[in-house]
Amino acid sequence: MFYPAYRGRRIRGNEVFRRMVRETALSVNDLIYPMFAAFGSGIRKEISAMPGIYQLSVENIVAEAREAHELGIPAVILFGIPEYKDATGSSACLEHGVVQEAVRALKKELPGLAVITDVCMCEYTDHGHCGVIRDGDVDNDATLELLSKEALSHVRAGADMVAPSDMMDGRIGAIREALDFNGFSHVPIMSYAVKYASGYYGPFREAAESAPQFGDRRSYQMDPANRLEAIREAAMDVAEGADILMVKPGLPYLDIVREVRNEFNLPVAVYNVSGEYSMVKAAARNGWIDEERVVMETMIAFKRAGADLILTYHAKDVARLLAKR
């Protein structure tokens, strides 16, 4: 098919035909809204690097989640800013911890909203790493027990799904075993299966107050240069019982989203991370880009690459834009 027999503009020139042949569709049902639950009351603290995103105490988490739910967003994912931090992240597993209380409040007030919880230790440890430190690095197997306890505490509080983000080897199997043994075999796991050691996480570390106090996370998060390793990591999580596979970050790794989509028949999620969000917001505030167009183009890119679900701080804006169409 070549010019002049084929003229692409015949279709592109008619808006109705453009819609009719559109190959990729975005729905509000694709969206998951990340939220930061803070210990205390009366807290609504905007994150300086992420305009429009806040640390919220439980009553404000409910109000924010209600707004998102009324826009049609079907699910939120919770991160916690606890009352205290220590070397082993013990506050992650408390029956009345900040995430656990937020889950209970959300399920009571908004029973139709799916509540997912991030399972990791970095928000709860005083050193900011994702597990127990031994000899200057995270002890993988000792951390598995803590992650399992954390996940179990979230589910007991009413979480509909858990999402381990720590990148410890074997954590999906350990959490699956703990959930099954305690009568929660019906609760799914969304695995951060492919999580790169990325510079795009910077604003999140302000939001979750989880920056490492020494070193970095390269011993457990993936090398950005690696593609085949992503498939190995995802395959291991599939074998251990993951129900959804996530790629994080999103935009710099669209090729990896496609690789995972082609290789596995599980649902695929992508995390449109804090740095991606902050760059759009900063450029828009300077008048350098059309924020609405760039955000929607980004969402379509995730879908076109093969993502079924999108975790994004833009979720409310996207929902509003979709409602106008």
Domains, the chain, in order of start with CATH, read 27-324 (3.20.20.70)
The arithmetic mean of pLDDT across residues 8-22, rounded, is 92
Q: Which residues contact 88 (CB under 8 A, 6 or more apart)?
A: 121, 125, 132, 146
**What pLDDT does 137 receive?**
81
Residue 206 has pLDDT above 80, yes or no: no
Residue 215 has pLDDT above 60, yes or no: no
pLDDT in tens, 255-276: 999 999 999 999 999 999 999 9
**Range from 12-21, 131-140, 155-164, 216-225 that averages highest in pLDDT:** 155-164
Q: How far apart are CA 163 and CA 102, in angstroms?
A: 16
SS (H, E, C) 6-55: CCCHHHHCCHHHHHHCCCCCCCHHHEEEEEEEECCCCCEEEECCEEEEEE
pLDDT in tens, 61-86: 999 999 999 999 999 999 999 988 88
- State the catalytic residues: 195, 248
Helix ranges, 123-194 (H) = 140-157, 171-181
pLDDT in tens, 134-149: 887 888 888 999 999 9
